Structure 1
């Protein structure tokens, strides 16, 4: 039985992976000596993406800042 990928998360994740590949992989493939270095670069990028990368769509906040703002409003 096959399942179609109709989850709302699919598009978001595909977008994220596209950004990740553009920003740390394409053109930098040869800078990673092994899979461990690539794995660490991905982990570092995910931390940067969530905690430091400001997004205009999130009203010039990082993902974590925006999430906390929304949660704080919901808890008031």
Structure 2
């Protein structure tokens, strides 16, 4: 993220954190969760978000499968 108020640079980060809050944080009750449990849950969510989440922009594939398909096409 860059300086305050420079929207083009901050848009990607703001979009990601908005999705993170809506999908991960706001949908759960965190009152009885300690810091270590929260960190473990966050790591599981980020792993799912980065590698297993289905994305419309990737033709309904998850990023891992899309990369494999792309690499297979490059090696042929």
TM-score above 0.5, yes or no: yes
Aligned to 1:13: 13
Shift of 1:12: 2.9
For each residue in 1:26-61, what CA deviation from the matched residue of structure 2 results, as whole angstroms up to 9, or x when unmatched? 142425511111111110001111332211111000
Taking only aligned residues, the RMSD between alpha carbons, in angstroms, comes to 2.5
Aligned residues: 72
Q: Which runs of 5+ in 1 are unaligned?
A: none
User: Which of 64-73 and 16-25 deviates more?
Assistant: 64-73
SS at match of 2:30: helix
Query: What stretches of structure 2 of length at least 5 have no aligned partner?
Result: none
Higher relative contact order (CA 8 A, sep 6+): 1
CA distance in 2, matches of 1:44, 1:71: 26
After TM superposition, the score normalised by the length of structure 1 is 0.67
1:32 touches 1:38 (CA, 8 Å); kept in 2?
A: no
Is residue 58 of structure 1 aligned with residue 58 of structure 2?
yes
TM-score by length of 2: 0.67
